[in-house]
Structure 1
């Protein structure tokens, strides 16, 4: 049969990324407490396309993914990317895997156990010139209490939920749980999936005693990561879904050890 994708294209334009998006796929993730956990990932796979080719071979992406079924984890990323480069005759390959990660978490007073969900993402790339790159990202729900509101009010202060996103490059393996912990410790208070009344009292008072702007949260996270020799680069941003304003509050920091 005629291979249309391999026919030459006359426009003489390289394509940076071409491939498949939003593949739903079973995934086994390393879990510090239970060795591993099963989840479902959304996967994007891309390669570059030289100007001489009309198109790429979409089915080969799925074939490669299926070859790693059952042992698709962060330690296999370089192998998957290498297979994509070889099979699709590409200089660069990109792989993005997003998945929900669940942690059993006890409430602060009654120690009632509930499951907390965290959105995670692993982004890998391999390039003949730039080499191998890997980023791990966690999205962590938090609560914050406004320092300004607390300062100017006779009683009470407005508080809100927020979302903190932390992405890192590292030398040695890092646990998802450790990245989540760094974020949660920087918030006014953590978010829990299950709270009894004594827990609600604690959470409310803890937040009031520990007010934070979004600027405070990103700076506190950065202060924890900057001296860590294992972290080569990080991005952190926080968005507060304000409870008394018709907008969100936002802060962002990006740092690398080469650019402190």
Structure 2
């Protein structure tokens, strides 16, 4: 009996804290784990970076950090929006918390065909799921960051030849009423750009994309408005945030634009 008592270790995290200060979010950040995501053409293996946090009451000394890791280690199914909903409910139950957030950031790939040569190659993008529970309301956002080309309309108009262009990053962050694949979400950004990107191009393709971008000049304002227009017309989208950042080729700063819209607000 005495030996058994010596083997019982104290649970310090569950003890009371006398400072009476609640913590908005506490948990783990920078966790790297292999995951499987659900793609349009089947499961895709990748490596994700995770942040998992919960709210901590004022009278509790600490949270149980290992439970966050255990939750993800036990996951066996490809991640999508529905799985994110289940994960955050499970996390709150394990941590005895009423609010919390799970953020999963990951690279993923789409096999693309060059416009003229028809060569195939893999193009990389960044995805992100953010599940949040606050005041009993669960929200899951599905986000993509898509590199594209943008060409300046002003430069084209005022120059005798040529026009400056640059690589841009287009972000769509969506709350969905029904599923949208990551590939479909990427496509919304790509068709809103002056031109999309490919990993592998021959000279005939390079000619095509250069001329295509020249024929489709867009300011950073045009990029976010075009994305917003497509999302306004998509009944699957409940609310969205769109961002465009142009890494300017003739300035040492970026041009940036942002639109947010909750379609439920009318």
For the criterion TM > 0.5, the same-fold answer is: yes
Output the CA distance in 1 between the equivalents of 2:92 and 2:229.
Answer: 38
SS in 1 for 2:238: strand
**What are structure 2's unaligned runs of at least 5 residues?**
1-8
Equivalent residue number for residue 127 of structure 2 = 120
1:17 deviates by 0.7
SS in 1 for 2:264: coil
Output the CA distance in 1 between the equivalents of 2:192 and 2:168.
Answer: 12
1:7-43 deviation line (CA, Å, top 9, x unaligned): 211121111111011111111111212x111111111
Output the CA distance in 1 between the equivalents of 2:194 and 2:46.
Answer: 30
Output the CA distance in 2 between the equivalents of 1:32 and 1:131.
Answer: 28
Q: 1:241 aligns with which of 244, 247, 253?
A: 247
Output the CA distance in 2 between the equivalents of 1:146 and 1:72.
Answer: 40
TM-score (norm 2): 0.94
Equivalent residue number for residue 13 of structure 1 = 21
1:66 deviates by 1.5
1:134-184 deviation line (CA, Å, top 9, x unaligned): 000000001011000000001111011011111000101111111100100
CA RMSD between the two structures? 1.1
| 1:63 matched to 2:70 | yes
**What are structure 1's unaligned runs of at least 5 residues?**
none
Equivalent residue number for residue 214 of structure 1 = 220
1:131 deviates by 2.1
> 8 Å contact 2:123–2:198 — kept in the other structure?
yes
Equivalent residue number for residue 167 of structure 2 = 161
Equivalent residue number for residue 157 of structure 2 = 151
> 8 Å contact 2:38–2:78 — kept in the other structure?
no
Output the CA distance in 2 between the equivalents of 1:72 and 1:196.
Answer: 35
Equivalent residue number for residue 39 of structure 2 = 31
Equivalent residue number for residue 186 of structure 1 = 192
> 8 Å contact 1:121–1:137 — kept in the other structure?
yes
Pairing of 1:31-180 with structure 2 (within 5 A): 31-33=39-41, 35-68=42-75, 70-74=76-80, 75-127=82-134, 129-180=135-186
1:167-212 deviation line (CA, Å, top 9, x unaligned): 0001011111111001000100011100100000000000111100
Q: 1:201 aligns with which of 187, 207, 215?
A: 207
- In the alignment of these two chains, the number of paired residues is 257
1:62-111 deviation line (CA, Å, top 9, x unaligned): 1122221x215123222221221111110112111111010000111001
SS in 2 for 1:28: strand
SS in 2 for 1:162: strand
> 8 Å contact 2:99–2:136 — kept in the other structure?
no
Larger deviation, residues 198-207 vs 72-81: 72-81
* Misfit runs of 4+, over 3 Å: none
The structure having more radius of gyration, on CA atoms, is 2
